[in-house]
């Protein structure tokens, strides 16, 4: 990914489309079922993560982009990095993603 691509990715869409980003409403976190946010609760069910090798989020996340995920998702079994795919890996490499998901789900069938 070029430096220009990374620079474009760093700004939010509001920053890119509005000369005054403060006028664009920001998304607020959705509350949980009881009306509260649950940012500190870990995901404890078996989990697999699929990402594209060219996903700019990985490139912007430092030397080990998955460490925070491992720390907060104790049920994380696998991390799959699909070559030649970007952020929309499920569209860019649908067959590979389907194969990964079927293998993961077959463990529970």
Rounded CA separation 51/83 (Å): 9
In a domain, 7, yes or no: no
Within a domain: 35 = no
Any domain includes 47: yes
Q: How far apart are CA 89 and CA 84, in angstroms?
A: 9
Q: Is 78 helix (H, G, I), strand (E, B) or coil?
A: strand
**What pLDDT is attached to residue 21?**
56
pLDDT reported for residue 35: 52
Count how many Cα atoms sit within 13 Å of the Cα of residue 62 in the half-sphere of its side chain: 6
Total domain count, the chain: 1
Domain membership of residue 101 (yes or no) is yes
**Residue 62 neighbours by CB under 8 Å, 6+ apart:** none
Other Cβ atoms less than 10 A from the Cβ of 52: the count is: 24
Q: Is the pTM of this model over 0.75?
A: no
Q: Tell me which residue has tokens 């490499």.
A: 93
The single-letter DSSP state of residue 31 is P
Residue 77 belongs to domain spanning = 43-109
Q: What pLDDT is attached to residue 14?
A: 42
Please tell me the predicted confidence (pLDDT) of residue 32. 55
Instruction: Report the pLDDT value the prediction gives residue 13, as an integer from 0 to 100.
Output: 46
Mean pLDDT (10-residue bins), the chain, 109 residues: 50 47 56 59 87 88 82 88 94 97 94
Please report the pLDDT score of residue 18 as a whole number. 46
| Inside any domain, residue 55 | yes
């Amino acid at each position: 990914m070029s430096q220009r691509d990374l620079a474009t990715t760093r700004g939010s869409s509001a920053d890119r489309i509005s000369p005054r980003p403060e006028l664009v409403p920001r998304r607020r976190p959705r509350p949980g079922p009881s009306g509260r946010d649950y940012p500190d609760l870990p995901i404890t069910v078996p989990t697999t993560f699929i990402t594209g090798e060219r996903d700019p989020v990985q490139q912007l996340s430092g030397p080990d982009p998955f460490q925070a995920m491992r720390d907060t998702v104790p049920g994380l079994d696998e991390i799959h990095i699909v070559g030649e795919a970007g952020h929309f890996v499920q569209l860019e490499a649908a067959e590979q993603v389907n194969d990964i998901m079927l293998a993961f789900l077959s463990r529970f069938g």
